[in-house]
Amino acid sequence: MSAIPANLQAVRQALEQAARRAGRQPGELTLLAVSKTKPAGDVLEAALAGQRDFGENYVQEGVEKILALKQLLPADHAPLVWHFIGPLQSNKTRPVAEHFDWVHSIDRLKVAQRLSEQRPEHLPPLQVCVQVNVSGEASKSGCAPDQVEALCRAVAALPRLCLRGLMTIPAPADDLETQRLPLGQLRQLLTALQAGGLALDTLSMGMSHDLEAAVLEGSTLVRVGTAIFGARNTP
Ligand SMILES: *Cc1c(COP(=O)(O)O)cnc(C)c1O
């Protein structure tokens, strides 16, 4: 028997506990199950166990899974919500605009403009987050903190996108206090943008190893892969 339903339950319980410790309502948190490199059958199992939001990192793999799940799920099952969370090149935006509900990894205007132009009219606006490189690592994608406001204002003006907030992937750290630092910086950036008049409600932060730190720092959307689906094979 697969461990996915039990893993999901354990992650949901860990989130509830972290929320209680942080004095927050568990309902403020959305759990995104990151299914990259995992087969469609694993997504189906998680969906049948009640999981609704899924995250994918690679365009082709993600689109294939979205189409597969439409076939695999019973016709009366509530639709899944698909989030693109990987690096996105501007020449690969079209399938993302056509198949995903959310994109968390907007780090330059050109990609956002193309997504807006390519978002089909019959679909609701694409929900997006601007990815911020708060830890300042040269190798990581994400917009520099001092460019976030300008990028957010430009993205918020695009007609077929709905800017929801900020996302980050911090440098890995083992202890809670070190984990909290960059996550707190992202929260402060969001607060400053809200004070500047942008209507934002989403902080996409927290993965398998830093869930508690993320909940303590105000995350609204945690992205969990390994703790739900097990270790990944490299694609
Ligand atoms: C893979 C990935 C995750 C999930 O990471 P785990 O450590 O497996 O929980 C979350 N966010 C992004 C952007 C990822 O690429």
Return per-residue pLDDT of the chain as tens, 235 residues: 689 999 999 999 999 999 999 999 999 999 999 999 999 999 999 999 999 999 999 999 999 999 999 999 999 999 999 999 999 999 999 999 999 999 999 999 999 999 999 999 999 999 999 999 998 776 678 999 999 999 999 999 999 999 999 999 999 999 999 999 999 999 999 999 999 999 999 999 999 999 999 999 999 999 999 999 999 876 5
Write the residue with the smallest CA distance to atom 5 of ligand 1. Answer: 225
Rounded to a whole number of angstroms, the distance between the first and last alpha carbons of the chain is 24
Q: How far apart are CA 151 and CA 103, in angstroms?
A: 15
Ligand 1 centroid from CA 217, angstroms = 18
Q: In b/e form, how buried is each residue of 85-121, taking b as 16+ CB within 10 angstroms?
A: bbebeeebbebbbebbbbbbbbbbeebbbbbbeebee
Q: What is the pLDDT of residue 1?
A: 64
pTM over 0.75: yes
Whether ligand 1 lies within 6 angstroms of the CB of 34 is answered as yes
Distance 223 CA to ligand 1 centre (A): 6
| Ligand 1 atom index nearest CA of 36 | 1
- pLDDT reported for residue 136: 75
Residue 137 has φ and ψ, to the nearest 5°, of -80, 130
Quote the CA–CA distance of 66 and 12 in Å, as a whole number. Answer: 23
Query: Would you say the CB of residue 224 lies under 6 angstroms from ligand 1?
Result: yes
- Integer Cα distance of 106 and 94 in angstroms: 14
pLDDT at res. 85: 98
Q: Is 126 in the pocket of ligand 1 (CB under 6 A)?
A: no
Could you tell me if the CB of 36 is within 6 A of ligand 1? yes
Cα 218 to Cα 194: distance, rounded to the nearest angstrom: 14
The per-residue pLDDT for 141 is 86
Chain centroid, CA 141 distance in Å: 14
pLDDT for res 71? 97
Q: Which atom of ligand 1 is nearest to the CA of 209?
A: 7
Q: Who contacts 176 (Cβ-Cβ below 8 Å, separation ≥6)?
A: 212, 213, 216
pLDDT of residue 119: 98
With contact defined as beta carbons under 8 Å apart, do 45 and 59 qualify? no
> Distance between CA 201 and CA 89 in Å, rounded?
26
86 three-class SS: coil
Per-residue pLDDT at 44: 98
**What is the model's pLDDT at position 167?**
98
What residue ranges define each of the domains in the chain, with the CATH number in brackets? 4-228 (3.20.20.10)
Closest to 144 in 3D by CA, of 110, 186, 111: 186
**pLDDT value at position 223?**
98
pLDDT at residue 33 in the model:
98
In this predicted structure, what is the pLDDT of residue 139?
61
The candidate with the shortest Cα–Cα distance to 197, out of 146, 156, 167, 147, is 156
